[in-house]
Structure formats: C-alpha cells, structure tokens
Amino acid sequence: MADVNLWAVAGGVAIYAGGLGTELLRGVLTRSASRTEREDARTQQRQDRREDFEVAALLELQEVILVMARQVGVGIVSDDTHFRATGSWRRGAPLLPDEAGGEASLVAGRTFLKLKPRIPSAELRTVLEAFHYSCTEVTLSPPGDGHNDQAMHDEGMRRAAAMTDRLVAAQDAIDARIRDLYAT
C-alpha cells in the first residue's frame, strides 16, 4: 500500500513538474515569438520609411524634371522664334536669361542632381540620366555661324524632340515606380 501511495505521489509530482516545464517552455517560446514579431515590425517600419522617402523623392523629382523641361523649352522656343524672324540660329549661351528663368533652370538642375541618388532603382536612374543629358545637350547646342544656321536649327529641333521623348520616358518610369511602391 505504501508503494501505491509513493507512486501516486511521484506521479502527482511528475505531472506538476511537467506542467511547470510546459509553462516555462511556453514563456520562452512566447518571448521568442514576441521578439521575432518586434523585429519583423521594426523591419516593416524601416521598409515603410524607405518607401515613403522614395515616393517623396520621386514626386519632387517629377516636379523638377518638368521645370527643367519647361526651362529648356523656353530657350528652344526663343531660339526658334528668333530663327524664324531673322534666319539666324542664336543658340550658344548655355544659361537662359533671367527673364526666361535662368536661375530657376539652375536650381532645378541642382535639385535634380541631389535627388537622383535617392532613387534605388538603377533602371530608373538610367532613364533620368538620359533625360538630364538630353536637357544639357539642347541647352549647350552650338550657335549658328551664319553659314549653317538652317542645319543648326534643324539639329536643335531634333535635340528638343529627343528631350521631349526622354521626358515622357522619365515621367512614365517615375509613375510606374510610384505605382509599384503603392501596390505593395
């Protein structure tokens, strides 16, 4: 009979110890799970902040490239108007006169150069660089020399058309990236 009571007591102690072990293990696993959840939440917050930062940079970049395109367009229209009136191509001054927004053009160019590195997508940066190069190419077109003004005019118009195509490509690429960021 004493053996039966001993086994009953031992069984009760074993059940109690098993319950304590289970609770201890549950606590360890819960702490581990909550730590993992906190790490996952922090990772998600960092990713959200990165995406918000990128979206803000992309939206600002959209504005900047439109200003750049407008400023280059003002210059090319001025040159085209001058060519149609006089027959001579006057491009050659790399900076637009202040009344045409020369300072705004410089600010837009500097802002573009500051924003571009904030874009993690190499493909998008390549499209943006092509647009920037095209703006520079139009702005720095050589002046006419009196002998080949028609050819210079035609080349200036070709470069302006290429810049417009690259503007559309840049805007489309930015729009697509913003849509991708909002879709996730």
Q: Which domain holds residue 71?
A: 48-183
Interatomic CA distance for residues 29 and 39, integer angstroms: 15
The string of pLDDT tens digits covering residues 95-149 is 455 555 567 777 888 899 898 888 888 999 999 999 999 988 887 776 666 677 8
5 occurs within a structural domain: no
Q: What percent of the chain has pLDDT over 90?
A: 24
Q: Give the total number of structural domains in the chain.
A: 1
| Residues 134/139/164/129 CA torsion (nearest 10 deg) | 30
Whether 174 maps to a domain, the answer reads yes
Residue type for position 40? D
Asked if residue 29 is part of any domain, the answer here is no
Q: Is residue 99 part of a domain?
A: yes
Residues in CB range of 177: below 8 A, 6 or more apart = 54, 58, 119, 121, 124
**Highest mean predicted confidence (pLDDT) among 3-17, 19-33, 147-161:** 147-161
Tell me what pLDDT residue 84 has.
Answer: 85
